[in-house]
Amino acid sequence: MARDLVGFDTFTLRGDPLARAMAALRVARQQVRLAVADTRSNRLVPVLCDADDEITLRLCRIEDAVDDDAADAAEPRDTDARRQAELPLRAA
């Protein structure tokens, strides 16, 4: 296995830092999947599959957080005031 393959494939990431990070994770996931299909080692397959699962999980968590942030931003601003009004009073 060659250790000096950095720069073997060239790609450009565009967009904001979050979009670039997600694109890099998608590239990494694709490369792991290609490695799984290419390997003949029974020892590497489970390790590579675990890496694929972990990358997929991280991507899903990022996407969920982005969706949650978008939903929070879409809520009316008076929601915070309503939430505060519903909190029980504390003794001073």
What is the chain's alpha carbon radius of gyration, rounded to the nearest angstrom?
Answer: 22
State the Cα torsion 53-55-61-63 to the nearest 10°. Answer: -120
Whole-number pLDDT of residue 35: 96
Q: What type of residue is 2?
A: A
User: Residue 86 and residue 92: Cα distance in Å, rounded?
Assistant: 18
Whole-number pLDDT of residue 4: 57
Whole-number pLDDT of residue 63: 96
Q: What is the mean pLDDT of each run of 10 residues along the chain (92 residues)?
A: 59 88 95 95 96 97 93 73 68 60
